[in-house]
Amino acid sequence: MPIEYIQHPLVVPSSIERRVYQERIVESCLKHNTLVCLPTGLGKSLVAVLVIAERLRQFPQGRAIMMAPTRPLVLQHYETFRRTLMLDSSQIIALTGENPPEERGRLWNRRLVLATPQVLTNDLLSNEVNLDHVVVTVFDEAHRAIGDYPYTFIASKCAEVSGLLVLAMTASPGSSREAIDEVCK
């Protein structure tokens, strides 16, 4: 049987194999804020690519932010998005602590910014960035979104923006209903 690929105006042809379960997850994610829990290796990152692609298609002037807790993971996502999204490479950027604050302020206007939550938190607090034109924010490793972790502050800022869609992803949401509810909250 031949391999089928996702067809989308913002996805590089033949870059993402079609998987019905991922498409169904994406459909659900596009309707409301969602916590996606999938085991490692089942394509959480590709779900994020497809959700971001569709939101950027729906909102041609919109921007997207995807966060991951470590610089290596941010850079890994950056490579995935550069390989799979049909955006000019100048419109995708990775921002980590390696980028000085005075440089970052002018870089937040890209269509897709991949960043650590610490960088986004610092730049929100210093007013270097606002979320007004952001149409989707992705929280990778969302199980960290508890207590004083920067994800909780960022999520509260996202909640203030009308129409901003939130996608949270993790392979390990917690071992109890209470722990999962805390991440969702």
pLDDT tens for residues 85-128? Answer: 999 999 999 999 888 888 888 899 999 999 999 999 999 999 99
pLDDT value, residue 165? 98
| For residues 170-178, average pLDDT | 79
pLDDT tens for residues 152-173? Answer: 999 999 999 999 999 999 988 7
pLDDT tens for residues 122-131? Answer: 999 999 999 9
Six-digit token string for 118 = 């610490």
Nearest-angstrom CA–CA distance, 98 and 34: 30
* Full-model pTM: 0.94
Q: Residue 93 is inside which H or E element, if any?
A: strand 92-95
Higher pLDDT among residues 148 and 122, named by residue: 122
Nearest-angstrom CA–CA distance, 2 and 126: 51
Q: Which one, of 54, 81, 129, 102, lies nearest residue 93 by Cα?
A: 81
